[in-house]
Structure 1
Amino acid sequence: MKQTVTAIFDIGKTNKKFFLFDEDFQEVYREYVQFDEIEDEDGHPTEDLSALRNWLKTVFDRILKTEKYNIKAINFSSYGASLVHLDENREVIFPMYNYTKSIPQEIIDSFYEKYGPEADFHQQTGSSSSGMLNAGMQLYWLKNTKPEVFKKIRYSLHLPQYLSFVFTGIPLSEYTSIGCHTALWDFQERDYHDWVYAEKLDQILPPIVSTETSVNMNYNGKRIKIGVGIHDSSAALLPYVRSLSKPFILISTGTWSISLNPFTDRLLTQQDVKDDCINYMRINGKPVKSARLFLGNEYSIQVKKLAKHYGVEADYHKTVKFDPEIHYEIHKDFEPLFHWESIDVPNMPHKTTLRYTTFEHAYHHLMVELVLLQVASIKSAKGSMAIEKLFVDGGFSDNEVYIQLLSHHFRAMELRTTDSSLGSALGAAICISDTQLNSKFLKKNYSMKKHIPFIAK
């Protein structure tokens, strides 16, 4: 008797993952792979789409042939700010440009001269001026710097929808990818922003469908429901939204730490834009007020430096437990010591000063400073709303020092961590299922842990 499962491809920038979930959303199979990046025409690293596409097909075809599983549905989650461009033959043209690539300042200036002022524009589009992280700006850049090749584009697909296209051949768009800081969407008008129509980009953006849309297809002789894909942060949020009724904030941690507030009912204010708040979108098109912090990236940079300075193993930081005595010593004479390399903070030191004799003390001080940035980010996403629940998932959910410090700063809120290395994949599976979730779902599927703030001196 074959086991009925839902298949999910969860595509990160580093790890490409494949999961099978049973009908209770329990993981029954997984495999990971990593690919070397290739270079675009300027020598900038980017995703090897050909290798990715071949892996998707190879893995899925292999699993379809097994006698163990009966795949009823497949869906896809992946990172945003990435577009795949197809010509009239639906073949890929251009590399999939990396969102870390820079856009010439004159292109950005010309955009805001035509469609600014900048603060008003980003208030309307729920985005910030982030270069290639704004997928819309990628299209504007392409149109103005590579016009001859740009004319050959028939469709520009967000990455999650390209993954679906590999299996269906149907080009589509959906809300969560459009709404992830693309600068394409007018959140008040609930439509593409006027600039998209002025530049005629709507002609290459495929029809918009609900994120819960699926295509029933005969694939290699099997009848399978194929989803249209979902942006990974929105996917990670979905199980919480579906199973909880009271307002909460979800901090999705990793390279970026994103504080997500899905209970906002108004547009971003000018102050929100100044505080680097943006909007994501729920699967129904409603905004999710969010604040981003390059936390994981900065953390990686700093712990490497600490390990080298104190002569410990590169992964020694993973063994450090929270010590309230060390925290007390840091707190009583606190001053910032760290100079950030990837986070812009006013009045930070010009260079890092390590005045401690042990790695543990320096590490605690690093975490105190990073958590202060995290606290400010959460408060920006929260605004003036009365929210009592705080959830942390992703890479920092098992960092004891981070969690203890966070619970200390939000003593009046209920803080829980989740074991959700599967978060985005599970959300993608839920998105195309007809299952109703209840409040017990998170506890059962996410190994939820409640954290009590430590008693400070």
Structure 2
Amino acid sequence: MSASVGNIVVLDIGKTNVKLALIDASGAQLAERRKANTVLRDGPYPHHDTEGIWNWMLDTMKEFAATAPVRAIVPVTHGATAALVDAQVENSGLVLPVLDYEFEPPATQRTEYLGQRPAYDTTYSPSLPAGLNLGRQLAWLASAYPAEFARTKHILMYPQYWAWRLSGVAAGEVTSLGCHTDLWQPSRQQYSQLVERQGWSTLMPPLRNAWDALGPVLPALVERTGLPADCQVVCGIHDSNASLLRHLDATGSHAAPPAILSTGTWVIAALPGGQLDGLKEASDMLANCSALGQPVPCIRFMGGREFGALAGTEAMPCSVADLQQIIDQGTYALPAFAEAGGPFAGRKGSVVGPALPTDAERTALATLYCVLMSDWCLTALGSAGDIVVEGSFTNNPHFAPLLAALRRGQQVTVTDDASGTTSGGWMLAHWGAAPAVRSHAADPIALQGWPQYRERWLAQLA
């Protein structure tokens, strides 16, 4: 799409929240609405509330359409999720509910699947728990629900499911296909052997660019929402790749590629231009695919979820004094506090040292933990240049300064946009234009004993 497209709506479906943002031609946000991303347990397995999202989205788009003319809609979603659909787009199209990737299929199926999945050095997709390998989800659904699976016309990655429902056009796209799915070979930019062996090749729709306009919004939706009849639906993208997009130039490279720390439910460290031969499956390291098709070395942990486990869901703000108190008294959070992947998956999290009597101190411990985990991930990736922090942790005033104090010689920059996914979505609709996003360098925070605290934390991981 061109840079003159005008106002757009970005549908941003994260694992925890769903957001709709109305953004003007300059990249300025005009309106935003949010809702919780609910997992339903009233069906054959835990599944996403696609109809709840759909109806909320259409109602909100009607509100937005009454505010400003909307020229394009861009879906951006979390990974490890796919929809199996027939041809009935007007009735959701789903032949089975959209499986929640945190659901664990039977152990016997995992054993069978491990014998089917491609080698790590072809997909750079580590073996993950639950349904984080999308190939395992699909294999289980095909085995457990053969009649429903047989009705499938398309296997749609999650962003493209929403694009299909809006436009009626089925498409595939590499950023979701290349997100630890076992379905894609990033170095070769083609499907893995698993797709052919399972007979799924014919179910994969034509590949399109993330920024391609698939077509206008369906007429029935125009009538329901008041959107313009020529409002285009963009193919869409995986969320952490949306955040990465503005750091790539037209050739998919960067003059001096920074490491990107995309923070939210998942904290994902990405190193554009980095080498794949340093990736280790045991550390949950992987190669994602950028929107331009290039493999990008990555490592991640479930930072937002772990922060909540340590600080509580209603975390209280903490002060520099609270952080210093945790360091001085020697209380440590040792991974992991979420079961879904990460370099320490399978290890049960623990807090060692003196107890924390206040909510602020628990927030301080959670902050220190997430910084230490981010630092560990950046070191594992081989990050030696600039670091850019994006996403929800930019709202924590201590996160980037603490990280900067550990990464001496590397400039840590914080964007003023708490949602790099939204900026990435805007870029897809205005392909060729760069969003006007301000950023600032994080000044290292001066905490006594902070580097030594890190060394003691690392020693306890051995």
Q: TM-score range by the shorter chain?
A: 0.7 to 0.9
| Cα deviation code 1:377-416 (max 9, x no counterpart) | 11122x2x6x421111112123233223211110111011
> Residue 236 of structure 1 corresponds to which residue in structure 2?
243
Q: Deviation of residue 324 (structure 1)?
A: 7.2
Shift of 1:200: 0.9
* Shift in Å, 1:182: 0.9
1:109-128 map, 5 Å: 109-115=111-117, 121-128=119-126
In structure 1, distance between residues paired with 2:360 and 2:63: 47
Q: What's the counterpart of residue 11 of structure 1?
A: 13
Contact 2:13 2:76 in 1 (8 A): yes
Gap change, CA 1:329 and 1:241, over 3 Å in 2: same
**What does residue 420 of structure 2 align with?**
423
Aligned to 1:308: none
SS of 2:247's equivalent?
A: helix
Write out aligned runs for 1:370-409 (5 A). 370-381=370-381, 383=382, 387-409=384-406
Distance 2:98 2:358 in 1: 44
Question: Is the 1:76–1:230 contact (alpha carbons within 8 Å) kept by the matching residues of 2?
Answer: yes
Task: Give the C-alpha shift of residue 224 in structure 1.
Answer: 2.3
Residue identity matched to 1:164: A
The whole-number CA distance in structure 2 between the counterparts of 1:71 and 1:362 is 44
1:432 to 429, 433, 449: 429
| Alpha-carbon distance between aligned partners in 2 of 1:349 and 1:222, rounded to the nearest angstrom | 52
Alignment of 1:221-260 (within 5 A): 222-242=229-249, 245-260=255-270
2:444 aligned with 1:453, yes or no?
yes
In structure 2, the CA distance between the partners of 1:417 and 1:295, relative to structure 1 (3 Å rule), is same
CA distance in 2, matches of 1:54, 1:366: 36
Question: Offset at 1:135?
Answer: 1.3
Query: 1:200-279 residue pairs with structure 2 within 5 A?
Result: 200-217=199-216, 219=219, 220=222, 222-242=229-249, 245-264=255-274, 266-269=275-278, 272-279=280-287
Deviations 1:215-274 (A, max 9, x none): 34375362222201111111111122249632101111112111011222x4344x5222
Deviation at 1:85, TM superposition (A): 1.1
1:46: which partner in 2?
Answer: 47
| SS in structure 2 at match of 1:400 | coil
Between 89-98 and 365-374, the greater mean CA deviation after superposition: 365-374
Corresponding position of 2:301: 293
Letter in 2 for 1:97: L
Cα deviations by residue, 1:179-233 (Å, 9 ceiling, x for unpaired): 1111100123321011210111111121111112113437536222220111111
Partner of 1:76: 75
Distance 1:230 1:61 in 2: 23
Task: Assess if the C-alpha contact under 8 Å between 2:318 and 2:360 holds in 1.
Answer: no
- Kept in 2, the 8 Å contact 1:123–1:273? The answer is no
- Paired amino acid for 1:267: L
Q: 1:59 deviation in Å?
A: 2.9
Separation (CA, whole Å) in 2 of partners of 1:136 and 1:167:
26
SS at match of 1:71: coil
Q: Output the amino acid matched with 2:149.
A: F
Deviation at 1:35, TM superposition (A): 5.9
Provide the identity percentage: 22
**What is the identity, as a one-letter code, of the residue corresponding to 1:230?**
I
Segment of structure 1 superposing worse, 353-362 or 183-192: 353-362
* 8 Å Cα contact 1:257-1:295 kept in structure 2: yes
Contact 2:124 2:287 in 1 (8 A): yes
For each residue in 1:338-358, what CA deviation from the matched residue of structure 2 results, as whole angstroms up to 9, or x when unmatched?
A: 574326479988664434566
Normalising to structure 2: TM-score of the pair? 0.83
Contact 1:7–1:74 (8 Å) recurs in 2: yes
Q: Which runs of 5+ in 2 are unaligned?
A: 223-227, 449-462
Aligned residue for 2:458?
none
- Do the aligned residues in 2 keep the contact of 1:249 with 1:259 (CA within 8 Å)? yes
Equivalent residue, structure 2, for 1:310: none
**Whole-angstrom distance in 2 between the partners of 1:347 and 1:6:** 43
Q: Which consecutive unaligned segments of at least 5 residues does structure 1 have?
A: 305-313
- Please state how far the C-alpha of 1:329 moved relative to its aligned partner: 2.2
From the superposition, tell whether residues 346 and 376 of structure 1 become closer, same or farther in structure 2 (CA, over 3 Å). Answer: farther
CA distance in 2, matches of 1:55, 1:375: 38
Note the 1:358-373 alignment, pairs <5 A: 363-373=363-373
- Asked if 1 retains the 8 angstrom alpha-carbon contact of 2:243 and 2:421, the reply is yes
How many angstroms does 1:87 deviate by? 2.0
Q: Kindly tell me the number of residue pairs found equivalent between the two proteins.
A: 425
> Is 1:80–1:159's contact at 8 Å kept on the other side of the alignment?
yes
Q: CA RMSD in A?
A: 2.8
- Offset, 1:177: 1.1
How do 1:158-177 and structure 2 match up within 5 A? Answer: 158-177=157-176
- How far did residue 275 of structure 1 move? 2.1
* CA 1:195–1:391: 2 relative to 1, 3 Å: same
Say if 1:173 and 1:410 are closer, same or farther in 2 by CA, change over 3 A: same
Secondary structure of 2:11's counterpart equals strand
Kindly indicate whether the alpha-carbon contact (under 8 Å) linking 1:126 and 1:268 is maintained by their aligned counterparts in 2: no
From the superposition, tell whether residues 190 and 349 of structure 1 become closer, same or farther in structure 2 (CA, over 3 Å): closer
State whether residues 311 and 362 of structure 2, in contact with CA within 8 Å, keep that contact through their aligned partners in structure 1: no
Contact 1:336–1:349 (Cα < 8 Å) also in 2: no
Residue identity matched to 2:403: L
Of the three residues 104, 107, 110, the one matched with 1:105 is 107
Shift in Å at residue 284 of structure 1?
1.4
Which one-letter code corresponds to 2:136 in the other structure? M
Query: Structure 1's 349 and 448: CA in aligned 2 closer, same or farther, altered over 3 A?
Result: closer
Verify the 8 A CA contact 1:394 1:419 in the aligned structure 2: no
2:403 and 2:146 mapped to 1: Cα distance? 49
TM-score, length of structure 1 as denominator length: 0.84
Cα contact 1:40–1:95 (8 A) shared by 2: no
